[in-house]
Chains A and B, each alone.
Chain A
């Protein structure tokens, strides 16, 4: 089971676990990303995600291909949501299943790290004071030196 989707509606992480589950697998790893209430000291009220959907799907597929090649994982599902998300809502979920735990854990980590580097998805944070801002992680990295 392999699937990469950009979705508009709510993500149900439990359904991803179900999707990759099989008696042949002894380990399932699940990563869930959610909307956090504070970013760089500013109070966030919501996040608006947008994507270049056709490329984002293609890039996610390429990442799944790489994970399969690196970790021998074939049961791997990822969903990323776009639209306006409230605090605590799920923005991304990744489920990986394998006969053994290490490839399952390594795959979810790999997929989320690669999403952050190269999948064309953007977020505009809405702050409690009414202002809004596109997030640029490269600028944050320059400022903090990390």
Chain B
């Protein structure tokens, strides 16, 4: 089964204990679906109800479809400045 890599940063990387995770990718997978699969991983129960996800370096909506070549990242609350 094809997979997609999800990049994790800051507090989310600490929660899941890794900077990236691999998730299975079935045809028609949306951002929301991916998030649900992510929640089954150890440590993911500490994630907020609706974490922000970026697809190809742009914030994505829950309905957005994901392709295997997409660059996916889970974005913790930002704190720059």
Q: Are A120 and B54 in contact (CB under 8 A)?
A: yes
Contact count band on B: 10 to 19
How far does the alpha carbon of A121 sit from the alpha carbon of B73 in the complex, in Å? 13
How far does the alpha carbon of A92 sit from the alpha carbon of B79 in the complex, in Å? 12
Main secondary structure on chain A at its contact with chain B? mixed
Beta-carbon contacts under 8 Å, A30-88 to B: 33, 49-52, 54-56, 58-59, 80
Q: How far is the CB of A54 from chain B (nearest CB, A)?
A: 6
How many residues of A are in contact with the other chain, CB < 8 A? 30
Q: How far is the CB of B45 from chain A (nearest CB, A)?
A: 17
Q: How far is the CB of B74 from chain A (nearest CB, A)?
A: 10
Interface 9-residue window, one of B4-12, B23-31, B35-43, B61-69: B4-12
Sample (28) of A-B pairs whose CB atoms are under 8 Å apart: A33-B81, A49-B80, A50-B9, A50-B10, A52-B7, A52-B9, A52-B75, A54-B57, A55-B57, A55-B58, A58-B57, A58-B58, A80-B80, A91-B80, A91-B81, A92-B81, A112-B81, A116-B79, A119-B78, A120-B9, A120-B73, A121-B80, A122-B11, A122-B80, A134-B76, A137-B77, A137-B79, A138-B77
How far does the alpha carbon of A110 sit from the alpha carbon of B78 in the complex, in Å? 16
Q: Are B81 and A115 in contact (CB under 8 A)?
A: yes
How far does the alpha carbon of A56 sit from the alpha carbon of B7 in the complex, in Å? 14
Contact of A120 among B11, B14, B78, B81 (CB under 8 A): B78
Q: Are B81 and A122 in contact (CB under 8 A)?
A: no
Q: Which of A49, A80, A134 has the most CB of B within 10 A?
A: A134
Q: Are B80 and A123 in contact (CB under 8 A)?
A: yes
Digit string of A111-146 for contact with B (CB within 8 Å is 1, else 0)?
010011111111110000000001111110000000
